[in-house]
Amino acid sequence: MRRRSLLAGLSAALGAFGGCNTTGDESTDPANESTTENESTDPADTPGPTTDSEFAGVSMPDLPGENEVTWYHESDETTQGFVRPSTERTELPAQIDFTYYNRSEESTGCGHWKLYKLRGDRWFHIGPYAHDGICFNLAAGESETWTMAAATGEMDDEVDDESADRYPYLGGGRYAAVVGYGHATPRSAALVEVDAPPVSVVPTDDATSESDGDTVTVTEDRWRTAADSDDGDRATLTLERAQTADRTIIAEQVMRRRNRCYRNLLGFTDEAIERVVLRTDGRTADRVVVDGETVRLRYGDQAYRVTRGEP
């Protein structure tokens, strides 16, 4: 197997996820000896997939910033590059392999994997939020597999492959795995329908709260430990109802690790609460609001504004 690495721009976001990316020649890689129906009935020497997708004929809305996409369920024998999932329907917890096949006679550009969830007629980016700065060309005839492990709650011993990208707190619905490999289009993608209950937004285990009328003050361990650090970097975030929002966030995004501030703000809202004040450290608050800014977002049917303060 030969792969030529390309240097891509380092992401400004923090907390990159490693993922499980494996490559190989389709005729020799043991990973391609899968027992799934798609693998066993889709010969490696054909230009495109020969199996029928259960999503055949389904029209998809555009993905954010990735409008030119080759979908697996729209591929045919002329498709030179496509993503095939190990299953198109699953219950959680589950582990799913998404394999991109380069059936062309030339190398692809480099690519990274992303996961989206469809809500209504819009796609929402679930992760990863950052990638390392290196990706690879995929030579003619080679394939690459991205493995994700998903569950409805916390994930401990439920993952068979420890190198898989972990996605806890996923609810039922339709998801898309998208990779930046393609020939006719810049991206390739595949759909998976997940059978699971809706996700509820709940606070982190370390968050404690105190109520004073219509205001709840939430304190994280990061606030407590910041007092003992060299710089004593503490910050507060205040969430209040608003009339307008600049963007919408869904539960699966709120429950991602990097969004713990949203989790500990929205997790304490109800009809009787007008204000939630979160006490955390400065680095964690930076992921939501930098000094002097106001973030406006919609969660469910309610718009909110989040402002930052100092202790």
Quickly state the pLDDT bin for 195 (edges 50, 70, 90): very high
- Taking alpha carbons only, the member of 304, 205, 199, 214 closest to residue 260 is 205
Q: Indicate the pLDDT class of residue 298, thresholds 50, 70 and 90.
A: very high
pLDDT, tens digit, 9 for 90 and up, residues 233-280: 899 999 999 999 999 999 999 999 989 999 999 999 998 999 999 999
**Token pair 């309610």: residue:** 302
Is the predicted pLDDT of residue 51 greater than 80, yes or no? no
Per-residue pLDDT at 138 exceeds 90: no
Banded pLDDT at 11 (limits 50, 70, 90): very low
Mean pLDDT score of the chain:
82
Residue 285 has φ and ψ, to the nearest 5°, of -65, -30
More confident residue, 302 or 226: 302
Cα–Cα distance between 209 and 220 in angstroms, integer?
A: 9
Q: Give the pTM.
A: 0.82
Please check the confidence at residue 38 and state whether its pLDDT lies above 50: no
The full set of domains in the chain, from first to last, is 5-195 (2.60.40.10), 208-309 (no CATH)
In this prediction, residue 68 has a pLDDT band, given cuts at 50, 70 and 90, of: confident
Buried b or exposed e, range 255-281, using 16+ CB within 10 angstroms: bbebbbbbbbbbbbbeeebeebbbbbb
Q: pLDDT-based confidence at 24, cuts 50/70/90?
A: low
Average pLDDT over residues 155-164: 69
Between 39 and 10, where is the model more confident?
A: 39
